[in-house]
């Protein structure tokens, strides 16, 4: 009886091997798609404003600050702190937009499988 049980285990192992090859192919395809998506994301730019549009920050998909535009009317020598706060707000908002886009794209690719990427 133990012998027969062992044989069943062997036949299941053979099936598992075929399923593993299919899974490997799917994983390789997903990896290629992820690389393509990553390249596309890195090429994108995200823009956000603060202070009613007087400060505009542009970041890349790599989360690098690419440009910062400040309306001269926003420059008040007596209130530099407010300008600094607007800059931080605009940059953070642009970074969040880039992160949310990357997360959304990854979720589409993985089908919501919850993989840790």
pLDDT along the chain (117 residues), means of 10: 50 56 86 86 92 95 93 90 95 94 81 58
**For residue 13, is it within any domain?**
yes
Query: What pLDDT is recorded for position 25?
Result: 87
- Residues 8-28, buried b or exposed e (16+ Cβ, 10 A)? eeeeeeeeeeeeeeeeeeeee
Domain annotation covers residue 116:
no
Domains held by the chain: number: 1
The domain that holds 43 is classified in CATH as 3.30.1310.10
In a domain, 10, yes or no: yes
Q: What is the pLDDT of residue 10?
A: 46
Instruction: Indicate whether 102 belongs to any domain.
Output: yes
For the entire predicted model, the pTM comes to 0.65
pLDDT computed for residue 23 by the predictor: 86
117 lies in a domain? no
Q: Does residue 70 sit in helix, strand or coil?
A: strand
- Domain span holding position 104: 2-110
Whether 19 maps to a domain, the answer reads: yes
């Amino acid at each position: 009886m133990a012998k027969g049980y062992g044989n069943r285990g062997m036949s299941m192992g053979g099936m598992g091997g075929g399923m593993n090859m299919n899974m490997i192919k799917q994983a390789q395809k997903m990896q290629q798609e992820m690389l393509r998506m990553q390249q596309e994301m890195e090429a994108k730019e995200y823009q956000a404003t603060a202070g009613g549009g007087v400060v505009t920050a542009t970041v890349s998909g790599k989360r690098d600050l690419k440009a910062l535009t400040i309306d001269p009317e926003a420059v008040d020598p007596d209130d530099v702190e407010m300008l600094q706060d607007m800059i931080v707000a605009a940059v953070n908002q642009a970074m969040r937009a880039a992160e949310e886009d990357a997360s959304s794209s990854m979720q589409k690719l993985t089908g919501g499988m919850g993989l840790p990427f």
